[in-house]
Chains A and B, each alone.
Chain A
Amino acid sequence: MIPRNLFSTRTISKDFVEQIFSLASKIESNPDQFADKCKGKILATLFFEPSTRTRLSFESAMLRLGGQILGFTNAKVSSAVKGESIADTLRMINHYSHIAVIRHYIEGIGEIANKFASIPVISGGTGSQEHPTQALLDLYSIKKEFKGIENLSIGVMGDLLYGRTIPSLLFALAKYDNIDLHLIAPPALKLRKNVALRLKENGFKFNTEENLKDILPDLDVLYMTRIQKERFPDPVDYERLKGVYQISTDDIKNAKDRFIILHPLPRVDEIDYAIDKTKHSRYFEQALNGVWIRMALLLKYLGLD
């Protein structure tokens, strides 16, 4: 069953995830076949926080499907500055578009969409809570590389506290069996308790580490994240923690041959530019996969698949 809106990877089924991957794969192999699928449909992009990849890839996805887009990329040009609620914004968008993507610093707005939106609403990231479409493209990237997601050793490193891609990635991975998961973060940036509790309730086990060095030779995938400067309540804490994890070509010299590095981007200094040229980097291909996944999501949620 398709959920009405998409705000979390926790509440969607593995079957649904696989359907999205299968459709994305069909689109990727023959995009022209889908060029008019969304003719006459409008996607609203409501971005109350900055975005490059998520907004552009959603817009690119809709344009490639023959649809149209409207929206704003800055909350300052919306009525939010006049104090308009998210509920009222969604009530308006119901009349202006057929589907919407929303990014907001406020968390928990999925429930607002469930109550007040009559069109499908997809999250483009909510605060540090979740970023479900990023997780879907992350897993799609892994699946393409390894022909599956099960039986892999995956390291997730960086800002596990504030990075919104992390909960979505972990909830999505928890749907698959036999994943050897390592969470690598300093104590100050470890996984939020609520996310850890959800994983525990799901019976999904993981190891926590502070150093990459010891486990690197076992990893198939290393998922790096940026330290989320904008989410730190105290800038002093950011200054203390920035640059805590940086990897260079030296750090990955003992990696498996098939080892890959993913990153939701943007990166700051956590991955040295020299790694871009190695056979292990996949973050730019990962970003392209976002277009196929978002095309698949638009088709699925509009009932046009």
Chain B
Amino acid sequence: MSESNDKLIVTKIKDGTVIDRIPPGKALKILEILGIDSNYPYTVAIALRVASRKMKLKDFVKIRGKALTTQDTQKLSFIAPTATVNIIVDYKVQEKQYLKIPEHVEDFVDCINPNCVSNAHEPIVSSFDVVSKDPLILRCVYCDRLLDQKYLNRKL
């Protein structure tokens, strides 16, 4: 990684995922959501609060050897809705995904209600409808309780 004038240059990765245009300060949370910590065996580059033409400031992460699941991108969309996900194959962007907040998510986060059946020992998974995208509000399909952005930031 080097910086010439005010341009930050980060080495390309051969195969993996680049998550760009992350709202400033959220990159570490995104790595946490993706389960990437100090034990991750491949190269990970993190840039925090770098200059961006579109966002003024942004974060980005480059993760070698990581492909995101649908659930990963759903979680990212709740924490960093402006982010883009670039799938890198042989140093080239094979696919660029713009995150979209889904209408419904399952087995994603625990319900806020300790008495919700999804938190009991039952043969079901947690299930939520997205009732508002801005501000973000999820509604439990089972107990009807609402989950807000603050709760999701804490729990994801």
What residues of chain A have their CB less than 8 Å away from a CB belonging to chain B?
83, 85-87, 105-112, 115, 127-129, 192-195, 197-198
Least Cβ distance of A254 to chain B in Å?
37
The interface residues of chain A lying within 8 Å CB-to-CB of B123 are 85, 87
Task: Mark the stretch among B7-15, B41-49, B91-99, B140-148 that contacts chain A.
Answer: B140-148
Interface of B: prevailing SS: loop
Distance A86 CA – B119 CA, assembled complex (angstroms): 13
The interface residues of chain B lying within 8 Å CB-to-CB of A85 are 120-123
Task: Assess whether B117 is in contact with A111, with CB atoms less than 8 Å apart.
Answer: yes
Q: Which of B116, B121, B131, B139 makes the CB contact (< 8 A) with A107? A: B116
B145 nearest CB neighbor, chain A only:
A194
Interface assignment of B124: CB less than 8 Å from any CB of chain A: yes
| A-B contacts besides A107-B115, A109-B142, A129-B143, 4 pairs, CB < 8 Å | A108-B116, A127-B143, A192-B145, A197-B146
Distance A236 CA – B120 CA, assembled complex (angstroms): 27
Instruction: List 9 A-B pairs, Cβ < 8 Å.
Output: A85-B122, A85-B123, A86-B122, A107-B143, A108-B116, A108-B118, A109-B117, A111-B141, A115-B124
Using a Cβ–Cβ cut-off of 8 Å, how many residues does chain B contribute to the interface with A?
19
Interface assignment of B71: CB less than 8 Å from any CB of chain A: no
What residues of chain B have their CB less than 8 Å away from a CB belonging to chain A?
113, 115-118, 120-124, 131, 139-146
Distance A198 CA – B145 CA, assembled complex (angstroms): 11
Distance A193 CA – B132 CA, assembled complex (angstroms): 14
Least Cβ distance of B117 to chain A in Å?
4
Known pairs A86-B117, A112-B124; A107 contacts B142 (CB<8 A): yes
The interface residues of chain B lying within 8 Å CB-to-CB of A195 are 144
The interface residues of chain A lying within 8 Å CB-to-CB of B113 are 107
The interface residues of chain B lying within 8 Å CB-to-CB of A129 are 143-144
The interface residues of chain B lying within 8 Å CB-to-CB of A127 are 115, 143
Least Cβ distance of B156 to chain A in Å?
20
Distance A106 CA – B144 CA, assembled complex (angstroms): 13
Task: Assess whether A108 is in contact with B146, with CB atoms less than 8 Å apart.
Answer: no
From A85, A106, A198, name the one whose CB has the most chain B CB atoms within 10 angstroms. Answer: A106
Closest 3 CB pairs of A and B: A108-B142, A108-B143, A107-B143
B142 nearest CB neighbor, chain A only:
A108
Least Cβ distance of B152 to chain A in Å?
15
Q: Which of A108, A128, A192, A193 makes the CB contact (< 8 A) with B117? A: A108
Least Cβ distance of A284 to chain B in Å?
31
Distance A83 CA – B120 CA, assembled complex (angstroms): 10
Distance A129 CA – B117 CA, assembled complex (angstroms): 12
The interface residues of chain A lying within 8 Å CB-to-CB of B117 are 86, 106-109, 111-112
Task: Assess whether A105 is in contact with B115, with CB atoms less than 8 Å apart.
Answer: yes
Distance A112 CA – B118 CA, assembled complex (angstroms): 10
Task: Assess whether A86 is in contact with B143, with CB atoms less than 8 Å apart.
Answer: no
Least Cβ distance of A236 to chain B in Å?
19
The interface residues of chain B lying within 8 Å CB-to-CB of A115 are 124
Distance A218 CA – B140 CA, assembled complex (angstroms): 37
Least Cβ distance of B150 to chain A in Å?
13
Task: Assess whether B146 is in contact with A194, with CB atoms less than 8 Å apart.
Answer: yes
The interface residues of chain A lying within 8 Å CB-to-CB of B116 are 106-108
Task: Assess whether A194 is in contact with B144, with CB atoms less than 8 Å apart.
Answer: yes
Distance A192 CA – B131 CA, assembled complex (angstroms): 16
Least Cβ distance of B106 to chain A in Å?
12
Distance A192 CA – B143 CA, assembled complex (angstroms): 12
The interface residues of chain B lying within 8 Å CB-to-CB of A198 are 144
Least Cβ distance of A182 to chain B in Å?
23
Q: Which of B115, B122, B142, B143 makes the CB contact (< 8 A) with A87? A: B122
Least Cβ distance of B45 to chain A in Å?
41
Least Cβ distance of A207 to chain B in Å?
22
Distance A85 CA – B117 CA, assembled complex (angstroms): 10
B141 nearest CB neighbor, chain A only:
A111
From B131, B140, B145, name the one whose CB has the most chain A CB atoms within 10 angstroms. Answer: B145
Distance A112 CA – B125 CA, assembled complex (angstroms): 11
The interface residues of chain A lying within 8 Å CB-to-CB of B118 are 108
